[in-house]
Structures are given as structure tokens and as C-alpha cells.
Amino acid sequence: MNWNLFFKRKQEYIKKVIYSLSQNFKDSELSSPKTKRICFMAIAAILAIVIVFLLANKQSPQKQNNFDIAIKNYRNDIMLYSKQFNLNPNYLMAVIMLESSGKPDVPCRFEPNVFKKLKDVKANKLAHLEYITSQDLKNADEAALKNLASSWGPFQLMGYKCIHLGIKIKDLRGPNALYYGVFWIDETYGEYVRQGRYQDAFHIHNTGHPVPTNGKYRTYDPKYVTKGIEYMKYFEQNMK
């Protein structure tokens, strides 16, 4: 659908409606004050409904474009890797949408709190960070620690995950970032995906833990898991 044309036509229609209503209001000048009040309230109510409708639907083309961008940039490789690792491609695409909106060139995101923890681990002020010890960081200077404390690639994996995977930080941010992102998902919580436990899988990707037993999400975005399930449905229908 051509969304620009759609909204242009909607705007033209709204202009006609407003003009018609204003003419009716003008014609009511000879009517009683009560009639004019009723006419004015009707105009105001209709305009409010129109504005709400436009605001609600204006988000659709952007989301549509983001989905199209994700499919264009990642579909072929994701279909290949999903077969290689036996992971649902719709889940993988949904994570990419959640983490990077399907963009091809994803900027890194520095996490100051993670940086501090890594510095504390290196200085033996903290025993470990996800089993990363001072021994793992002995050769890491401040620039390297900042890279390890940043999230990279379409899945936005933290740099220190490269230590778990036995690879270099450049692998998480270079042309192999997509492959190693899928590899990390398979190694970390692939069984959840293969078992269809997608709520737990999304929650693990964002927090490192399955959904708590009380059912309350602890994700940074409270709707992270809900959006993920919704995005999976979209890709299931549109990524054939």
C-alpha cells in the first residue's frame, strides 16, 4: 500500500468534512443558541475522532517500513542460519526488529554500568561478571573494556560475549555479526526456542533469565516480550 497517497487522500477527505461542518455551523447562525451549541459540539467531537484515528494509524507505515527493511536486509541469511542451527527464523527476525529495527548498519550502544563492572572484575574488586574473571581481562586496556561494555550488531550482543564464544570483538561487529549472534542464541538459550518457549526466549535475550515464576517481565521495555510475539506473527505471515 502507498501510505503517502493513503494519508494524502485522508487529509483531503477531512478538509471536505471540516468545510461541510463549518458551513452547517455558519448556516446555524440564524438558529437558536442551543442549536448552535449542539452543532459546535458535533464539529468538535468529529474532529477529535479524526485526529485520534490519524495518530493511531500514522504509526503503521513506519512499522511496515521497518519490517520491510528487516526482511530485505536479513531474510536470506536468517533463513540459512535458522536451518543450520534449527531455530525458528521468525523468532530470530523478531529479535532483530526489537534490538535494531532491522537496520543494516547498527551503531553500538555503550553501557557505563557494565563498563564499571568490568573494570572492577579486572581490578579484583568483583569476583566475576557472568563468569568472566580478571584472568580473562588481564590484557584489556580501557578502550578494549569499553568495546566489551558495548552492544554490537543486529542482535545487540554485549561485547564481552565474545569471551564466552571464544572469538574476537571484531567478529561481533563485523560482517560475521549476524552469524555469531545466531550462534550465541543457539549456545545460550537455543533449547527454549526449539521448544517453542518464546516468551522465555525473548526474556532471556533481554535480561539473561527466563520469565520469573510470578509472570512479571523484568525487561527494560515492559512490552519487549509482547512486541516480540507480535513481530513473530508478522514474519510468519510475510516472510515466505
| Alpha-carbon torsion angle 155, 227, 54, 38, nearest 10 | -150
Residue 4 scores a pLDDT above 90: no
CA distance 152 to 100: 10
Q: Give the tens place of pLDDT for each residue, 164-213.
A: 899 999 898 888 999 999 999 999 999 999 999 999 999 999 999 999 99
Rounded percentage of the chain residues whose pLDDT exceeds 70: 74
CA distance 223 to 77: 27
Q: State the amino acid at position 4 in one-letter form.
A: N
Contact 149, 118 (CB under 8 A): yes
Residue 73 scores a pLDDT above 80: yes
Q: 179 or 11: whose pLDDT is higher?
A: 179
Q: Give the tens place of pLDDT for each residue, 94-129.
A: 999 999 999 888 899 999 999 999 999 999 999 999
pLDDT at 173: 85
Distance of CA 222 to the CA centre of its chain: 12
Side-chain-side CA neighbours of residue 234 (13 Å): 20
Q: Where are the beta strands (DSSP E) in 34-144?
A: 109-110
CA distance 66 to 16: 32
Based on the number of CB atoms within 10 Å of its own CB, is 235 exposed (0-12), middle (13-18) or buried (19 or more)?
A: buried
